[in-house]
């Protein structure tokens, strides 16, 4: 009896020691650089009370031999410390109740977007996260994008550079593009994916290629090596001062053209470490073993918008929702306005990119359920394959809007590369579509004033919001994770309900309005690229060996159908969309420059209704006027009330937000 007990105790002690060793191999040190206690100028949040903010840096180590880390591109070629580990360090902000006994037991993690974090930014006013604090949640954010330069305003991570085994530089081709620059620009920074700028192996322009082309797809025109330089000509004439991060052209850049630079880069950062670092930091703070958060968090949920939402999709796909002890990291997540994978686990990656020409991201698995990509000749797969095998799949609330169809190629996520059938969702995924919204949603409000066009686009800015619905869905996600309460049924456009069609005026039946552009030609094409043999398509990993890639084919893309006003008819419509003041579209067109008349990129548009029947007739507008629709101000407010009540009943709007929206409508200038 005593012997058995002793063996049990020794086994338990060994397990504890192994756990401590494993923890040290992941997060080796936490440094608190600043403590704000109490935070937010002592503000109290409901029954939870006051919070404190810890701002610091986490130091971590990765074992290149660990199976869960093996998928990280170039990790085997990164420098190692005396223990054979690869080191990194990342900034973080942790926000927790002063009285941890009042914490909800839920850890919420915000994935920063290009280093920008609402959690970190809200040092004096918690803003949108105030609701999370009232509910007692612990909130965390941290750096993960290794190509960002350290800055006080950003969450960043420091990762190593990979080298060949003999210590020489690893090299490879990279592509940079320049367009829509101001006239008479002589010098431009080399930005790949908005942030990255891998160092050239040589500043010799004969070993690189700079070309230009017009938007009409006409032939490339190479620029002579003697007519451009890796240099800065802003302060000295051509050829300027040598600079590996800039390009100067003799006579200046012409904004009517797209310029493409292909050069050989050296010394790639091991950027895929960002996935493992996020895994390990969340596992550390969730565990209850952290002295900075000495209470176990029963559940963790993450949210990310756009680029950071793509980060979450790829984190799950590559197997990083399982920590090194085999435990689930995030029980739930909300990838918002994210319909691609993040092209970060690549040699010379540009994780700050979007869905521009030649940018990877839509090249592999895009769907939650398994699907065979016959059009591109790819094997059967889904985003949940690895977590299904390990039993670590999160509950997913996926949210996106109209601009994601038009600008980010959302179509294959829903209907595959053949665009001929709906891909079913697995039980742990809910999908909610926000009709008629721009990327990230508009500011909302009920105003007949016409907003200004954004970013040199032609149509006015789209005010249609998604934030109100997102707040309700985040509550639903946490309740699903922590209480087991299922969220509302998915609502998104489907082929089997005849809610998707081709992106043309004729197919959509989009209204023809005098002086207003039509949707034809405004969708971002869905290309099938050949990036070379070392590119692992389904995992979006490995290395690109062909720049620019070969375009093998253009695949079919579908978009949601619209009504006679041009407003989309499927999904979870906002109150403003249900009481419209105009047509809200997810696309827009450039008003000038190289891209004039083409897709304005991640920016939706707005076409206001005329106020009276006389005004619309004079303008040649077939859409009924505000007066014809609502009769008077009271009629408009009544429609807002009806829409708000319906959304609350469906759990797509919180009661407080519904009351606020009705008050805003009552105070508005609509038909005053």
pLDDT at 3 over 60: no
Maximal CA-CA distance, the chain: 97
CB under 8 Å to 389, separation ≥6 — which residues?
none
Least confident interval from 188-202, 349-363, 457-471, 604-618: 188-202
The rounded mean pLDDT for the chain is 94
- Residue 18 pLDDT > 70: no
Residue-wise pLDDT tens digits, 344-369: 999 999 999 999 999 999 998 999 99
pLDDT one-digit tens code per residue, 609-621 = 999 999 999 999 9
C-alpha 149/C-alpha 96 separation (Å) is 28
Helix, strand or coil, per DSSP, at residue 354: coil
Residue 9 pLDDT: 35
Q: Contact at 8 Å (CB) between 170 and 266? A: yes
Q: Rounded CA gap, 353 and 473, in Å?
A: 27
Q: Is the pLDDT of residue 416 over 60?
A: yes
Distance of CA 227 to the CA centre of its chain: 38
pLDDT at 179 over 90: no
pTM across the whole model: 0.94
pLDDT by residue (tens digit) across 64-84? 999 999 999 999 999 999 999
Tokens of 358: 């030649």
- Mean pLDDT throughout 391-419? 98
233-282 pLDDT, tens digit per residue, is: 999 999 999 999 999 999 999 988 899 999 999 999 999 999 999 999 99
CA distance 99 to 96: 8
Can you tell me the distance from the alpha carbon of 171 to that of 163, in angstroms, rounded to the nearest whole number? Answer: 9
d(CA 142, CA 292): 15
DSSP state of 295: S
Spatial distance between the Cα atoms of 442 and 402, rounded to a whole number of angstroms: 12
Across-strand partners of 95?
A: 53, 139
Share of the chain above pLDDT 90, in %: 89
Contact between 210 and 259 under an 8 Å Cβ cutoff? The reply is: yes
CA distance 231 to 161: 24
Q: Name the token pair of 651.
A: 């759990």
The Cα–Cα gap between 466 and 528 comes to 31
3-state secondary structure 549-610: CEEEEEECCCEECECCCCCECCCCCCHHHHCCCEEEECCCEECCCCCECCECCCCCEEEECC
DSSP type of residue 85: P
Over residues 272-303, the pLDDT tens digits come to 999 999 999 999 999 999 999 999 999 999 99
CA distance 210 to 259: 7
Region of 547 on the Ramachandran plot (φ > 0 left; ψ -120 to 50 alpha; else beta):
beta
DSSP, collapsed to helix, strand or coil, labels residue 140 as strand
Sorted by sequence, the CB contacts under 8 Å of residue 663 that are 6+ apart come out as none
Burial 211-232 (b: 16+ CB within 10 A, else e): bbbebeeeeeeebeeeebbbbb
Structure tokens at 621: 């507008």
- What end-to-end distance do the CA atoms of the chain give, in Å? 87
> Please, are residues 578 and 567 in contact by the beta-carbon 8 Å criterion?
no
Q: What is the pLDDT of residue 216?
A: 61
Is the pLDDT score of 16 beyond 80? no
User: Which of 23-37, 352-366, 445-459 is predicted least confidently?
Assistant: 23-37
- 8 Å CB contact between 211 and 221: yes
Q: For residues 573 and 491, is the Cβ–Cβ distance under 8 A?
A: no
Structure confidence at residue 6 (pLDDT): 35
Whether the per-residue pLDDT at 23 is higher than 70: the answer is: no
Q: What b/e readout covers 554-591, taking b as 16+ CB neighbours within 10 angstroms?
A: ebbbbbbbbeebbbbebbbbbbbbbbbbbbbbbbbbbb
The pLDDT of residue 218 is 65
Q: How many CB atoms lie within 10 A of CB 370?
A: 17
Q: Could you give the C-alpha distances from 470 to 213, 339, 440, 652, in angstroms and in order?
A: 41, 16, 10, 8
What is the pLDDT, as a whole number, of residue 214?
82
User: Cα(478)–Cα(485) distance, rounded to whole angstroms?
Assistant: 9
Q: Is the pLDDT of residue 390 over 80?
A: yes
Q: What's the pLDDT tens digit per position in 435-444?
A: 999 999 999 9
Lookup: tokens for 173: 């081709």
Give yes or no for residue 15 having a pLDDT over 60: no
């Amino acid at each position: 009896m005593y012997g058995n007990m002793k063996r049990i105790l020794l086994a338990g002690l060994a397990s504890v020691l192994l756990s401590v060793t494993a923890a040290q191999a992941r997060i080796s040190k936490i440094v608190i650089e600043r403590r704000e206690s109490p935070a937010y100028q002592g503000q109290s949040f409901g029954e939870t009370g006051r919070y404190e903010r810890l701002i610091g840096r986490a130091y971590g180590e990765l074992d290149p031999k660990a199976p869960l880390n093996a998928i990280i591109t170039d990790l085997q070629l990164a420098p190692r410390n005396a223990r054979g580990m690869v080191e990194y360090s990342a900034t973080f902000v942790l926000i927790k109740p002063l009285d941890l006994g009042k914490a909800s037991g839920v850890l919420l993690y915000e994935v920063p977007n290009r280093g920008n974090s609402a959690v970190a930014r809200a040092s004096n006013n918690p803003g949108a996260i105030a609701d999370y604090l009232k509910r007692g949640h612990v909130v965390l954010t941290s750096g993960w994008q290794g190509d960002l330069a350290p800055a006080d305003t950003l969450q960043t991570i420091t990762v190593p550079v990979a080298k060949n085994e003999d210590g020489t530089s690893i090299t490879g081709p990279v592509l940079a593009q320049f367009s829509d620059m101001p006239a008479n620009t002589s010098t431009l920074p080399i930005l790949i994916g908005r942030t990255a700028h891998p160092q050239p192996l040589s500043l010799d322009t004969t070993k690189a290629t700079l070309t230009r082309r017009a938007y009409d797809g006409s032939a490339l025109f190479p620029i002579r090596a003697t007519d451009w330089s890796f240099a800065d000509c802003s302060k000295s004439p051509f050829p300027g001062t040598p600079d590996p991060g800039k390009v100067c052209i003799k006579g200046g850049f012409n904004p009517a053209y797209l310029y493409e630079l292909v050069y050989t880069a050296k010394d790639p950062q091991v950027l895929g470490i960002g996935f493992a670092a996020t895994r390990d930091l969340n596992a550390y703070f969730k565990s209850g073993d952290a002295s900075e958060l000495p209470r176990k968090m029963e559940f963790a949920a993450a949210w990310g918008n756009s680029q950071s939402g793509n980060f979450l999709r790829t984190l799950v796909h590559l197997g990083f929702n399982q920590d090194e002890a085999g435990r689930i990291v995030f029980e739930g997540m909300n990838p918002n306005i994210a319909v691609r994978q993040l092209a970060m686990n690549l040699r010379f990656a540009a994780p700050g990119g979007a869905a521009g020409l030649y940018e990877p991201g839509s090249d592999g698995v895009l769907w939650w359920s398994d699907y065979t990509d016959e059009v591109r000749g790819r094997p059967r797969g889904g985003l949940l394959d690895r977590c299904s095998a390990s039993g670590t799949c999160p509950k997913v609330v996926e949210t996106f809007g109209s601009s994601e169809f038009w600008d980010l190629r959302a179509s294959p996520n829903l209907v595959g590369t053949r665009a001929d059938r709906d891909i079913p969702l697995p039980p742990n995924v809910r999908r909610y579509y926000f009709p008629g919204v721009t990327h990230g949603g508009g500011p909302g409000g009920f105003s007949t004033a016409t907003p200004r066009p954004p970013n040199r686009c032609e149509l006015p800015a789209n005010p249609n919001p998604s934030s109100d619905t997102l707040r309700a869905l985040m509550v639903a996600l946490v309740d699903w994770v922590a209480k087991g309460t299922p969220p509302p049924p998915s609502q998104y456009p489907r082929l089997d309900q005849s809610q998707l069609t081709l992106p043309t005026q004729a197919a959509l039946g989009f209204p023809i309005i005098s002086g207003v552009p039509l949707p034809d030609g405004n969708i971002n094409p869905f290309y099938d690229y050949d990036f070379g043999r070392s590119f692992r398509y389904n995992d979006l990993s490995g290395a690109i060996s062909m720049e620019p890639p070969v375009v093998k084919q253009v695949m079919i893309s579908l978009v949601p159908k619209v009504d006679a006003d041009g407003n989309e008819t499927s999904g979870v419509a906002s109150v403003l969309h249900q009481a419209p003041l105009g047509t809200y579209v997810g696309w827009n067109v450039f008003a000038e420059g190289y891209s004039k008349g083409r897709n304005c990129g991640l920016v939706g548009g707005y076409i206001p209704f005329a106020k009276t029947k006389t005004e619309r007739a004079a303008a040649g507008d077939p859409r009924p006027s505000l007066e014809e629709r609502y009769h008077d101000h009271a009629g408009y407010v009544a429609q807002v009330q009806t829409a708000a009540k319906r959304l609350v009943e469906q759990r797509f709007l919180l009661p407080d937000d519904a009351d606020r929206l009705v008050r805003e409508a009552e105070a508005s200038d609509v038909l005053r």
